[in-house]
Homo-oligomer: A and B are copies of this chain.
Amino acid sequence: MARKPHPEEPGRFAYEGLDRVLHEKARLGIMTSLVTRPEGVLFTEMKRLCALTDGNLSRHIDVLQQAGLVEAFRGTEGGRPQTLYRLTSDGRSRFAAYLEELEHVVRDALPKAVKKPERLPEVPPGFQPA
């Protein structure tokens, strides 16, 4: 009988659903802040929430806007020009799809990562540290 009755499918760990536009620390924070605030977030406030510099926040938001995930509204508040950012409907659903893929990763890996194996597995005979 074969040692591996069911060899794992090719691409099992490829995670194609992890959209590069979303799979980025800073933009992940931006999207999360926006999804928790459907009414929108002002530039300055988002800067605080995500701990980003002006330039980085501007650039990342631009990427998200180009991708159609975020929309912007200009106005004034307290006598100063302000920009309000919101998720688009498409942005929300694409973000949800991304998060579901992330959830799969966590489900795959976390249970196996948290428990320390009682003994290190043997290295097969003839194999030597690189």
How many copies of this chain does one complex carry? Answer: 2
Residues of A in contact with B (beta carbons under 8 Å apart): 8, 10-16, 18, 20, 23, 25, 28-33, 35-36, 38-40, 48-52, 71-77, 83-84, 86, 89, 92-93, 95-96, 99-100, 102-103, 105-106, 108-110, 112-114, 116-117, 120-124, 126-130
Contact B103 A99 (CB under 8 A): no
- A128 — which chain B residues lie within 8 A by C-beta? 73-75
Residue pair A29, B14 in contact (C-beta under 8 Å):
yes
**Residue numbers in B under 8 Å from A130 (CB-CB):** 71-74, 83
Cross-chain contact B15 with A49 (CB below 8 angstroms): no
Most buried by B among A29, A93, A109, A130: A109
